[in-house]
Structure 1
């Protein structure tokens, strides 16, 4: 579990517009999140694999991922969800609690998130949620691809 205090220091040092929200019950699904924030503004971090290369995908929770279209759009092959064991071994986090910032993976960022003042996502600790300006999420990740509604 990451240290929330270190996350707070990191985001403050980077001049991010954020708030870390503590809650009593873990958030492990969108259903859990409904009681704490507008889930239309939730931004899960998904770990994908393409030809044994791992990528993070920060996207809107309201749309399904069309892997066939995404493969073509990004000129990647065999893009799919990474196995949970591979995710844990390579990130140190379990699926469902992957942080919005701080991963050292190449990132695909969904620019549809930029329409919101704030988005909500993981901190690496299921008892805390990160409320953050999506521009800061884009800036603080190793974004190598962007997608939008047209991908």
Structure 2
């Protein structure tokens, strides 16, 4: 799964502008988080089609960084995230980012960013969720 980190100046209406640009480009927002950092806003967006989101936001002057994430299924019980973290740490795989994408009573899906995706895929093969962008 590809996520976009979008950085822009914090100002009145920036969220409306950004989401309107995506709407006008026919982009569907699958997951969205944002925060203010100093005088900037930083948005993390999972959007489809990814290429169109990247193009339209870049043309509008936003700085964009693309990140590949693995989708990992965790059983919904206390300690599941700790177990995942230990599996990666025990194999010397660093985690750069992680966030929950979905949750139901039995399981949740997390998006995991690592500089060693190949190794993480091997370690977590039994928990990976296939995503249409993996093709």
User: Normalising by the residue count of structure 1, what TM-score does the alignment of the two structures yield?
Assistant: 0.25
User: Normalising by the residue count of structure 2, what TM-score does the alignment of the two structures yield?
Assistant: 0.27
Question: Which one has the largest radius of gyration?
Answer: 2
